[in-house]
Every structure is written in structure tokens, then in C-alpha cells.
Structure 1
Amino acid sequence: MSEVMTGQSFADLGLPAVVLKQLEKMNFTQPTPIQLQAIPALMEGKNVLGEAQTGTGKTAAFGLPGLSMLDANERSTQLLVVAPTRELAMQVAEAINEFANQIRGLEVTTVYGGAAFGPQIKALRGGAQVVVGTPGRLLDLLKKGVLNLSALRFAVLDEADEMLNMGFIDDIETIMKAVPKTAQRALFSATMPPVIRKLAKTFLVNEAGEQPLNIQIAAQTKAQATIRQRAWLVRGLSKMQALTRLLETLEYQRVLIFVRTRSDTMDVTEQLQASGFKASPLSGDLNQSQREQTVAQLRSGRIEILVATDVVARGLDVPEITHVVNYDLPGDSESYVHRIGRTGRAGRSGEAILFYRGKEKHLLRTYERLTNGTIENFEVPNAKELSAHRQQKLQQQIVDTVAGGNFTVLSEIIAKMQEETGLNSDQIAAALLAQQNLQRPLIVSEDPPPRKFEERSRDKRDARGDSRDGREKRSPRGRDANIEFDTYRIQVGREHGARPQDIVGAIANEGDIDSRFIGQIQLFDAHSLVELPKGMPVAVVRVLQRARVRQQQMGLELAPTEQITRRPRPPGGERPAFKGAQRRNDRPGRSQGERRSRRPQ
């Protein structure tokens, strides 16, 4: 939430006592400008068009009055929030869930592509009163007749311009047409291009013909940041590989790593611990006593790395934190400022590191404006550099050990080994190094060529080509024709109810692979074939082997050559647009022969 306060309290805005009680518990006392204007208007039943930058507190601006409208005893969808990405949907749902902590019987569910339908359908049929979802999955659930909006009281479009950029405008219009005319509506957007204004004019005018209240909030600029900020473009390596390499080569005292969800804190921590780092999660699952104990262990050095979400790290003040790593970028730019403020405290120097994808590059400029700082691009150590670092570190350890030790007894053991085995001292030293190499390789395998995973942004469309909702929104040129692919077989097919967009979503989300680097997908009854870039890291392959589509484990493996068939490609070597080809196959009223006769567009 923004730190720009207004001098008024939430108690002045007409919110019910049960909501105010939770805000007090969360130490939220004064509303931000967008909240100060939007909450009273929404509480009065008006529709709202909010133009405000990310990070101005929009979630509370619509979430608090939205909760005030609901009847927790009624088991039906009453509040609908449409968000552009899975990550933002999860963050909005988590915030609303926390705001609703004191409301008994209220359930919040999140629906998004790339995940199994089953649990989402179960939550909807169970009567979750608040539904937060991405356009593609919401549209799918509407078509299936599972998402029932007949009792809806409030509909919100969040980050509308981002949904426009991602190509969801048609889906949004379809969803909004399903919203009852009696429901209240709000649209929030950082910018107001003509298409968004047209959308607002169409869907925000109420039954009486009254125009929505238009709220415009200017972006706030923060004071100059003295913290060094560096950014790495996710490519070639997975984020976890990059993180472990950085932690191994950085000179740090304490590190705070930010992720999006509670489950992410556990996953990242477990992988760091398996790599030998002294890491611990800091999540909302910990009670106050456990949280204080974890922070005390960080201060004492028993823990060197904390993996946390924004909510639980709020107010964390540990001067020893020298580095903050944005493993996942925050949902709003204001949170970024709060995050990096956890380092460089008490007059010490600090460093903030960001992992970002090509389509998130524009956020770096926003962060620079808010901090009045500069974000430097950098590359994580490559295999050769990591090998040199490990060898140099081991060499220094040996030098230090020799300088401070008495090796009389050990020298006698070595002499005896030489006498009994005929080995010389060089051979014994090499064998001992080989044992060390088994624990942590001194010569790291070469990285895959960056080109195979490189995020290209020659134009705005390419930079926006990936939809983390699992639904393709790109032209045939959204994928680089020079990418080399291997064909993999997965144990999921038509009989499991799988669709290509389900496979795209699972691979993109679980493997951290931009969907532009997922090639042709061919569905069969019991399996599917999917093209993925050559040289994928072993760790990514293992993750995808365990990943699930429609509750079925993928079991990813290279496809036997005899199973690989190629679809015809249009002139120029470009691959056909995936979504267009799939939608043609899904259209009713066409025979299989007619479908085959059509050339992919």
C-alpha cells in the first residue's frame, strides 16, 4: 500500500466495523488518495473509473468496499475481480483474503489458466463469494456454465491497460456482457488508451444512464535511493539456477529473497537448503512467536537467507541485510520500494537484485522513477566463471588450512599410502579433489546457448507475446523462427481432457519458460508431442517431468524419432500461429477432412 497518506482514517469512509477491525490489526489507519476517493463513491453505489499508477493502493480501493457489499451467508459469487496475469490474480486474492479475515464464512478463490480445472470448479460450486481470475480461465468457466454471475453484486477490471496489451480485450467484453446490469462496476488502469475509454463508456454507465466517477491520481516520486540496483533478464538458466550461482559468488552478510506466495517461500527455501545454503522461509503460516524466533536466528547468523512474501516482511528491520533479491517482481511498484528498503539500513551499503522477463522490462523504468535511481543490467556468472570461482575458493581454503595446521600425522598417512599403493602425492591429491568434485563440481557443465531462451523484444507485440493465463495471444511472428527445437513426448492427451493452452500454461509456469519458446503441440488420445528449445537445463526437464496437466503427470521425455511428424509450414519458415490453428480444430460443424484441407494461417 502506498505511503502517501491523506490525514483521514478508514473509519471516516463508512466501512463496516468488521472490516475496520481487520485494518486496525494490519496497522492500516490512513487511506491513500485513490482509496480516499474511490471507497466512499463505491460505498454510495456509484461506478468508478480509476486512473492511477500501479502501487497507489488500488486493491484496497475496490477490495474494502467490495467486501462491505457481500453477504457471507449467501453461497454464490458476489464479487468478481478480473486481473491480467496469474501472479496478479493471486496477489489480489491474497490481499482480499487478508482484508476479510474477520468475516466469518467468506471464501475467496482464484482461477487461472495452466492449472487443473477440478479444484477451481469445486471452489465455485462450493459457493465462494469472491472470485479473482484471469480473462481466459474466467471465459472458459463461463462457457462451461460453472461460473454463475446471476447473484453478482460488484465486478472489477484491474490493470485494464495491461489486459489490453496482452490481447484480452475481446475476452473482457464477453465477460462483462455476462455481468448483471444491476451489479456495480469499477475499472482501474494506469493509462487510458482509447480502447479502454470505449470499454469504460460501454460497461460503466449504470442503468439510469449515469456516467462513472472518474478518479485520476498522479504518480508519487520517492526520494533518491542510495541502494545499488541491478537486474538480470531471465534467459538460458532457470531462476533457481541463477539464484544459487549468485548466492555462491556474492559477498553477503544476510539476504532477503522476495517471492509471491506462501508456497513459493517453502519451495525456494527447500531448494536452497538442498544446495547447502542456510535458508529459512518467513511466511504467514508462522505465528508471531515463530516469526520472532526466525528473525532472531537471522540476526545471530544461524540463518543467512530469508525467503519471504511482501506481507510478512512488512516492517522487517535487520541492519545486517546486505542484499535484497526480487526473485519474483512485486505486483505493484510501491511494494518494490518497500522491498529494497529492507537493505542499506543504519548507514550501511545495500544492493537490490531483480529477476525480470522481457515483457516486464517496462517496470524497470517505473522503479527507476520511483527511486530516482539507476538499475544496471548484469549477467549471472556463466559456467566458466563459476568453475573458476569454485577452484579459487578451494585453493584459498587449502592455503589457509596449510598455514594454520599441524600435518605431521596426516603426512605419515600419506607416506604410508604411497608405500602401500605405489601412488605418488600428485595422484593422491587428484583423487581427493575428485571426491570434492563429486560433492560440488569444480568444472561446471557448459550453459545452453542464451539464444535458445533469449527474450526478444524487437517490437511491442513481441515483448507482450506471452500470456501467463495459458492462452496464446500472439501473431505468427511472436516466435523467433531461428530457435532450434527438440520434440518431447508427454503422457497427457485428449482422453485426459487436455488442451494445448493447458500444456502451454503448465510448461510456462512450472518450467519458467516464456510461452514464445514453446513450439508446435500435437494432441493424440493418450499422449501429446510438444516442441521445446534445444539444450534445456536438466533441472528444468526434471521439473517438467513432475508437472501436471489436468491432474495427470506430464512425464516429459524426448520423443522417439519415428513418432515425430511435422506440420506444413508457410513460406519463409515461420511457424503457424498456435492459437489460430487450434481454434479452427475446435470449431463445430466442420468435418475432419475440411479441417485438414485448410492451411495454418
Structure 2
Amino acid sequence: MSEQENEQEESVRFADLSLSQPVQDALVEIGYETPSPIQAQAIPVVLSGRDLIGQAQTGTGKTAAFALPLLSMLHPKDEGPKAIILAPTRELALQVSESISNYGRNQKRLEVTAIYGGTDFVRQFKALDRKPAIVVGTPGRIMDHIRRGSLDLSRISHVVLDEADEMLRMGFIEDVEWILEHTPAERQTALFSATMPPRIAAIAKKQLKDPVTVAIKASTATVSTVRQRFIKCNGMHHKLEVLANLLETEERDAAIIFTRTKSAASMVADELAVHGHSVEAIHGDISQGRREKSVALLKEGKIDILVATDVAARGLDVDRISHVFNFDIPDDAEPYIHRIGRAGRAGRSGEAILLLTRRDFRKLRDIEHTTRQQMQPMPPPSRALIAEIRQAKLEKKIAKIIEEGKINRERTAITEAVTNLETDAETLAAVLLKMLQTGKPLPSSSPSSDREPRREREPRESRGPRNDRDFDRDRAPRQDRFSDRDRRDRDFDSPRPRSERRDQESPPANADMDRYRVEVGHDHQVKPGNIVGAIANEAGLDAKYIGRIDIFDDHSIVDLPKGMPKEVLKQLKKAWVSGQQLQMTKVIEKKRKFFKK
């Protein structure tokens, strides 16, 4: 094996790399001009027909490194499939197929098909019947189709193994070797791997012919455009509080929050939703369709936050992500590197913030040693900063309403209230502001309020020999909360509140409330906290004014105060919860029955 040096002339552009004209046109349309180091070195190798071993961390542009030359070499008249790309997870397979389709946007009759588990075979049979030029898939489902005869690899001329070390870690490497045995001996093979464990090196030696190795040895193992910081936290309650404050104070676009376990991901997402954030959780217990919908919502800007486990986030590539929050520190450096690679894509700057408890510092030092990069400590957001930001947001909202005008009726009401209550406009405005706070009052900016919080006693699961069991069981997580909630809100945390067993058409419990139907229910894995958070965020309504919530299979019923403004209800119709639009409609009583209005 020969090895190219990790050097890239600054003058190299995509136009210099002998890519086909349709591919070059697509890159111009997308706005890409300068290749990354892995792209600049790998593309000429692949175009030359040589086998390739590419070593580079996530976020360095590996997909384009093999996709662009592959698209340049494929002939539209060739009967497919001509290329197969193996990926460790369905998320990565889907992401790679979408990227290839984007790069091949100007190539006529180009078909790219993603094949992965968790979806029905019928749709995949139809896609494969069209003989796509490129098939991207996970090893298990690719094997299934080969055995069923629905996927014929006899015409394959190009094979790509993406994130080979991850396929090894997940136990797929035998499947990969089995698939390779079903491809022609005369093929071009490209293997990409962040690391090169002995088993992967052995496969490369056996399956690749005189490969060229392109090893991108960056000065640090992490993405250079991502600033890395950590905050010391005192237990779970404090971590939740700090996370909520960071989401308010950090100037950001989209964010992804990583947890170690599935139950922790759900818990964090529920807490953030209750406090008005547009958030979804993705993990192993979430259906593939739901996961794809959540990622699409993030890309489209309909939600701003994803809470994810490491496996569920594999292959996630969303340009909007500016921040990565590590709610739980991973056990070693490799998943940490993958995590923060989600920010700082395509040369953009990004932020990675790690929330640490005292027992996490050994892992922090191990990660710093591996990445050869020291993380900088940062203080939790101060109450003064939070107050300043909330004040600025309030003033911006007020300025917008003033600019729009149409407040004559409100002016009259204020004038009458000042007279009737024998008060002044300033006092009345303060009262109205207090009434309208959505669970985020303006905090005192007094320095005394920024004292270090008292360290919480670690949960029993965190102490002694069982120090890593915080969220590892399927039971509900410990109910630490970062703000006080009344008994009604705490009851919302049970999977199926007792009130759900009553007749959904019964009248609201409070005569001052109206009933509304929303088109999201148990089928969509919604929880009351998700609904409360969406309504509080969209309607500017304090969570305590939201009444009983009854969740059914395909919809839910929620009690809201009488006289909700039409403009607010119109906005709530468009709100998204658990991948569904609420489509809120009022329920009216008629002969002791309730129907949608």
C-alpha cells in the first residue's frame, strides 16, 4: 500500500479534479467550490480506477469524496445496479443516498435507492425492480434482498464500505464479508474508516487490490471549526437547569443534545418540551418513519432541537446544527468525536458544550488525551445574562407589535382599566406582563443570585459500584425537575393518565375551560408534556393555565381557557408535536355529546 501525504494545495478547486460536467454544475448550484483534504486527495484516486483506503474523522466530507467520482464514472445507459455502498445504520444510509441524489441532480435517469431495515419489503422490491444505478444500504437488509433474489450484484463495478470501523463495532463485519463475496472479483473498492483496527486492516488486505491509502492526519482528532467547552454541574437537577439556560442564552440555530441512553433522551426531550422548546427525541425505541420525520422537521426549521442517542444519530448531517450539547459524557473519545462532528459542517463554525458531574472528569481527561485538544471550562449562564436576554426578546416582540399597529382596541382597554382600577399605565403593564409570562419570568439580575448551587446527592444508582446506572434501565427515570410543577403537571408524566379512561366526549372539568381536539395521540408516541410545551410556546400561555389532557390512540383532547383568540388558535393549528401538526379544533357540546366544530 502506498500512502499519500496529508497535504492540499490551497489553489485546488473542484473544477480542477476532472469531475464530469453534470457533477461540476451541481456543485456550483449547491455552492461548493473548494474540496476538503479527504476530497482533494481521494477523488483523483477513485477516478483513476484504483482501490482506496480513506482514513478521516466524521465531518470531513467523506461522502462527497466517493460520491462525486462515482457519479462521474457511471454511464446512464448501463443497467444497474452498478455501485453498492454499505453503511452501518439506516440513518447514514438514508443520508448518503440523499447526498448522492443531490450531487447527481443534473444526471438524467439516475436512480439511487436506500435499502435498510425497519421499512416494509414491498416498497423496496419496487425500487429494486427499477434497477437503480446506485444502491445504498445496511448489511442486514442487503443480505436479505440478495437471498430473496431481489438484489443482483453480478453487474456491480464499484463497492464502497462507509464507516467500516463502526460496522465492525456493531457486529456487521461478517455480513460485509459475505456481501463482498457476492460481488464480481473485478470491481473497484473504496473503504472508509475513522480508525483502522486489525480486523478492518485484514479485510482491506484480503478484499482490496493494491489500494492507495489517503490518511487525513489532522493536528487534532476533532473538527477544528468546533469550539469545545465544558460546564461543571452538581447532579441531574443542575444539568437540566443549565441545559435549559444554555438553550436560552447561546446564540444558535439548530441544536442536537446527546444522551447515553434511550430513557434519558426521552426524559430530556419531555422536560424541554414542557418549557416551550420545539424538540423531538430519536433513539432505538422510536420507529424509523418517526425518526425520518423528526430529522426532516429539523432540516426544514419546524423544530430546533433533537435529543438523541449515539446510534440513532449516526449519519445525521444537517447544516443547520450549530450546537452540540453533551448531556451525558460518552465512555470514550470515539463517540465524542462523532458527536461534535455534527456541528461545524462544511467549514462552518460550531459549538460543543459538555455537561459534567464530578465523577465525569476522568473521562474528560481521557478524551482530551485522545483528541490532543484541551477543552475550556465555562461558567453556567448567569441570572443577569438570562434576564438581559429575556428582556431583549420581550422588547423585540413588543417592537414588532408596535410596528404592525392594529392595537387601537387594546389602547382603549388599557385606558379604561387605568381609570377603573385607579392605577397608572406602568403598573398595569407590569401586571399584564406577569400574567403573560410563559414559565420564563424575568429573573433578578442581582449578583447574589448567581451563587454556586448546592451539590445534589447523587441518585443511588450513581453511587458505589453501580456508578453508571443512571438511566440504563427501561423503568421511568428518576423524577428530578428543574422547576416546581403542581400535582397536575406531575401527573402528566405517567404514560397513560387515569383520566384517559373516562369518556372522551365528557365536558371539561372546569366550567371556565373549552375542549379542543388535537390530531396527535398514542400512535405518535406523544406525551402530555409535549402538548403542554407546544401550546405554551405557540400561544404564549403559561403552562398552569392548560387544563386536563386526555390522550387517545390517534388524537388527544385538551382543556384551554375560554375565549382563546382566533389568531392564537390559527397558529396552534400549524404547530408540530411528535412529527404531527396539531390541527387544533374546538369541541362543542350537543345533546350531551361532544363533536368537532
> TM-score, normalised on structure 1?
0.49
